[in-house]
Amino acid sequence: MIVKNIFIICIFFFLLLVPLSSFAQNKLAKATLAGGCFWCMEHPFEKLEGVIDVVSGYTGGHKESPNYKEVSAGGTGHLEAIQILYDPSKISYSELLDVFWRQINPTDPGGQFVDRGDQYTTAIFYHSEEQRVSAQKSIEELEESGTFKKPIVTKIRKASKFYKAEDYHQDYHKKNPIRYKYYRNNSGRDQYLKKIWKNNIKTKSRKNHYKNYKKLGEQELSQKLTPLQYEVTQKNGTERPFDNEYWNNKTDGIYVDVVSGEPLFSSLDKYDSGTGWPSFIKPLEPDHITEVEDKSLFMKRTEVRSKYADSHLGHVFPDGPEPTGLRFCINSAALKFIPKEDLEKEGYSGYKKLFE
């Protein structure tokens, strides 16, 4: 009887834990973007795979609970914006930014198309340091692409309280399709975007320039990895400090996942932390890094893993130098170093410009 009761209790807790673990594996994220009239910003994102919801609203200002009349008149400090709820396992933040640039004129400091005033200017409101770094990188890449002849003036701002707009503004393109199309056509937005992007069919994030990164099976891992690499990446091991391949490497190049090859860090962001492990102030590709709470060794730390191979890389600590204040402490055994002169040969030519 006692054994039976124990069995029932175990089953009960198992059923409770399953949905929780499933939820943890499918953690959703938010992106907040301002691109002028929020009617025109909802539709392009709603149709993307991995986007759960898009809400129109107001953010970035000083007035509590503003309404449309107040924001559109100016003076509240708020911008019309959209907030996107998305699944990072299906669509990355950088991919959302690629779509964002194709909806706006990022060189206009006075508004967007027929809508003028600060309340209609463009901005990226970041929710994490990773989003901030990704946004800055995205702007740099856009400037280097030569798509726009004028400087990019879209601001990167820390996310603040987001106020949902009135119900009649939500999904306006669905509720009032004729009025929406009339407004959009007369705003000049579509005509401008068509002119700008006519010779650039698709913007790709860097990850799409290369192979499809993936996690390998046990047999492939055992054949590809050394015992130490396997212990570190698959068993969350830690190599010895000052006795590993890259702790004192000062050569220019990038560091990729030893399993999948996905780009992770750059030598430009590497510094001597005095710990005996390779240390970086930020990732090369924030979307290729995932963070996991680690409560092992009787302490609470933040583990970092590669997104596609799911390799254990190391940990991130808030004791690094400026400008990020972060220290990504990484095991050499989880990395493969690609010198700058080998980037093109190894299939990473898109990163050559970092070292020019």
Active-site residues, by number, are 37, 329
Is the Cβ–Cβ distance between 307 and 289 less than 8 Å? yes
Cβ neighbours for 114, distance < 8 A, ≥ 6 positions apart = 186, 187, 188
Running DSSP on this structure, what letter comes out for residue 299?
S
Is the Cβ–Cβ distance between 166 and 67 less than 8 Å? yes
Is the Cβ–Cβ distance between 289 and 304 less than 8 Å? yes
> 82: part of which helix (H) or strand (E)?
strand 79-86
257: β partners: 335
87 Rama sector, left if φ>0, alpha if ψ -120 to 50, beta otherwise: beta
Cβ neighbours for 86, distance < 8 A, ≥ 6 positions apart = 28, 29, 30, 31, 48, 50, 51, 52, 96
The 3-state DSSP composition of the chain as helix, strand, coil percent (nearest 5) reads 40, 20, 40
Nearest to 264 by CA among 198, 298, 205, 308: 308
d(CA 34, CA 54): 12
3-class DSSP assignment, residue 268: helix
